[in-house]
Chains A and B, each alone.
Chain A
Amino acid sequence: MSLDAGTWALLLALGLWTALDQSACLQLLVSQPLVASWLAGWIAGDPLCGLAVGVLLQGVWSRALPLGASPLPFLGPASVVGGALAACAPGPRLGLGPVLAVPEAVPLAIALWMSIVVGELGRPLLLRIYRHRGGLIATAMTAAEENQVSRVRVAHLLGLVPTGLLGLGLVVVGLAAGTFLLRMTPTLHADGRWVALPVLGIGVGQACSLSMKRRAWIWGAAALVLGIAVAMT
């Protein structure tokens, strides 16, 4: 349940990378839950548990779209927190399909909740950063007036600093709060799949609603019939 200094350092580095990858630079989708939670779980010692959380969260946030200037939940740091907490959760693992595994219900719920809280907390804070970059713009405009390209570029790259610091801060807060809650929670031995499967269903539905807006009821009926038929057999 406790994380050593090396693991903390690696998780913070991953948190920084994913925070910047989400929108500030590269955007290789390392910040998406499927990748970030898997890497965080790998660092924390249980990649398949981290990956299971990534599969659950990937669908949940599939409708989080950066359209126009609307800010996303801070997916990268949130996914790192979720994957790492699930990987270091105490107790046995339960099979979610042939490969993936999830911890017991309460630790899994804590990992998912902390991830969602970190993601949603990051949304307004990111917007705040976007709204307070007047200084950088002014510096760049002055540099352009003086024909100094390097200063324009430095002002541009300085924009990475607050985004990265916010990501780091959220990973620290999320991991600290999550490990504290995991330590305080009594052991109940409840099946984690009770928590995982409804969240997976919600996530799949969220993703599908993106492409089947007008025919959602057709998809919904098909999913219901097929899913329950498979579950009953």
Chain B
Amino acid sequence: MDLGSGGPGPGYRRGDDMSARLSRLDLARVAVWNLFLQASYDTGRRQALGIAAAMASIRHVWPTSGDRRAFLLRHLEPMNTNPAMAGPLLGAMARLEERAAAGDAEALARVSHMRRVLEGPLAATGDAIFWAGLRPLAGLAGAIAAWQGGALGPIGFAIVYNAIHLTVRLGGVFWGYTKAERIHELMRARWVTLLRFAVRWGIPLAGLCLVVLAASIDAFPRWTVAPAAVAGVFLGSRSVVRGGLLAGGAIMVGLILALVFFKSVP
């Protein structure tokens, strides 16, 4: 993954950099628009409109109308990545646009190159961390908290997930701006490794806790939890049946058992 050295290329003049420098407010605008990244998600251009809408906040780095037009069209190119990981990418692209506007000849080519090279790896990392990692882990932990403390569960779930999600999605714009081409370091960051470890072992442990909690309630059908969990893990790991359909089957079986046994239940 060659993204260059991270420094400015030939033709880059230090004085020009000062005149076109982006303020924190500009980056904050990019970060806020990043929250609406997928408003117009489309199967063809994916998140292109969202990226263009966010990057438009820094169009003033380009001096002429023609440059700004080219800038907008450049960011309407198809792109698809994890929405949270788009933050660092937007920040890095803003930095490169700033350099390009200041005369760095290579920066412009690097913008498109970085999008192409990093959108996939960032999407894979983001999906693994947020969608397939933090969300189910926080969901199971939230379910345990809800089991014991009611409203604590959903509130804790939302706080834990968003503390990390919003830090990366909003703060990532500022971080990406400082790192520029070196944002790929994010995928090897220590917190990412730690989070992956926590997810790998946290999900099964939280799942076992929930099975134990559910199997210990004072109700006749409590023995059904463990076999159903085993069926869920095996069918899930082989992607045989969708969760909704599997749950639909469990509802039917449970309903039939309830109607058969309901006279013996106090």
Q: Residue of A at shortest CB range from B69? A: A147
A11: CB under 8 A from chain B? no
Q: Which of B248-264 contact A (CB under 8 A)?
A: 248, 250-255, 257-259, 261-262
Which residues on A sit within 8 Å (CB–CB) of B72?
Answer: 144, 147, 149, 152
Contact B221 A191 (CB under 8 A): yes
Of B59, B219, B242, B243, chain A has the most CB atoms within 10 Å of the CB of B243
A45 within 8 Å of B (CB atoms): no
Comparing B1-9, B17-25, B176-184, B203-211, the segment that makes contact with chain A is B203-211
Contacts of A199 in B (CB 8 A): 228, 247, 250-251, 254
Residue of B nearest to A216 (CB): B237
- Complex interface: stretch among A165-173, A175-183, A202-210: A202-210
In the complex, which of the residues B127, B147, B203, B224 contacts A208, with contact meaning CB atoms closer than 8 Å?
Answer: B203
Out of B217, B226, B235, name the residue touching A228 (CB < 8 Å).
B226
B146 touches A105 (CB 8 A): no
Q: Is the CB of B255 within 8 A of A194?
A: yes
Find the B residue at minimum CB distance from A96.
B217
What is the bound-complex CA distance between A191 and B208, given in angstroms? 24
Q: Which residue of B lies closest to A127 (CB)?
A: B43
Q: Which residue in A58, A59, A67, A144 is a CB contact (below 8 Å) of B73?
A: A144
Q: Tell me the minimal C-beta distance from A49 to chain B in angstroms.
A: 11
Q: Is the CB of A140 within 8 A of B76?
A: yes
From the candidates B216, B237, B253, B254, name the one contacting A213 in the complex (CB within 8 A): B237
Chain A residues, CB < 8 A from B91: none
Inter-subunit contact B52/A61 (CB<8 Å): no
Q: In the bound complex, do residue B214 and residue A34 qualify as a contact, i.e. CB atoms below 8 Å apart? A: no
Q: Using Cβ atoms and an 8 Å threshold, which residues of chain A touch B228? A: 197-202, 205
Partner of B153, one of A34, A95, A131: A34
Given A27-B83, A105-B262, A144-B73, A97 contacting B217 (CB threshold 8 A): yes
Contacts of B252 in A (CB 8 A): 109
Check if A35 is an interface residue, CB within 8 A of chain B: yes
How many residues on chain B are close to A (CB under 8 Å)?
107
Known: A60-B247, A144-B73. A223 touches B39 (CB 8 A): no
| Chain A count of residues within 8 A CB distance of the other chain | 110
A65 to B139, CA, bound (A): 14
**A-side contacts of B199, CB under 8 Å:** 211
Q: Say whether A223 contacts B146, CB under 8 Å.
A: no
Q: How far is the CB of A126 from chain B (nearest CB, A)?
A: 9
Are B230 and A220 closer than 8 Å at their CB atoms?
Answer: yes
Q: Is the CB of B232 within 8 A of A206?
A: yes
Interface residues of A in 120-161 (CB under 8 A from B): 120, 127, 130-131, 133-134, 136-137, 140-141, 144-147, 149, 152-153, 155-160
Q: Which of A34, A152, A188 contacts B259 (CB 8 A)?
A: A188
CB of A219 to closest CB in B, whole Å: 5
CB pair A23–B41 under 8 Å, yes or no, is: yes
The CB with the most chain A CB atoms within 10 A, among B84, B147, B223, is that of B147
How far apart sit A43 and B229, CA to CA, in the bound complex (Å)?
A: 31
Known: A32-B139, A35-B158, A231-B226. A190 touches B211 (CB 8 A): no
Is B217 within 8 A of A223, CB to CB? no
Q: How far is the CA of A66 from the CA of B166 in the complex (A)?
A: 18
Residue A19 at the chain B interface, CB threshold 8 Å:
no
B138-154: CB near A (< 8 Å → 1, else 0) gives: 01101100111111011
Q: Which residue from chain B places its CB closest to the CB of A47 in the assembled complex?
A: B151
Q: Are A156 and B254 in contact (CB under 8 A)?
A: no
- Asked whether A230 lies within 8 Å of B158 as measured between CB atoms, the reply is no
| Cross-chain contact A62 with B49 (CB below 8 angstroms) | no
- From B93-101, B102-110, B129-137, B185-193, give the one contacting chain A: B129-137
- Which chain B residues in 51-70 approach chain A with CB under 8 Å? 52-53, 56, 59, 65, 68-69
The answer to whether A29 touches B157 (Cβ under 8 A) is yes
Choice from B35, B41, B207, B246 contacting A60 with Cβ under 8 Å: B246
Interface pair A198/B225, CB less than 8 Å apart: yes
Given contact pairs A47-B150, A194-B255, A209-B232, a sample of 15 additional A-B residue pairs in the complex whose CB atoms are under 8 Å apart: A24-B36, A34-B154, A54-B146, A63-B239, A98-B147, A105-B258, A106-B255, A116-B244, A133-B40, A145-B73, A195-B254, A201-B228, A204-B214, A210-B133, A230-B212
Chain A positions within 8 Å of B, measured between CB atoms, are: 23-30, 32, 34-35, 38-39, 47-48, 51, 54-69, 73, 94-100, 105-106, 109, 112-113, 116, 119-120, 127, 130-131, 133-134, 136-137, 140-141, 144-147, 149, 152-153, 155-160, 188-213, 216-217, 219-224, 226-228, 230-232
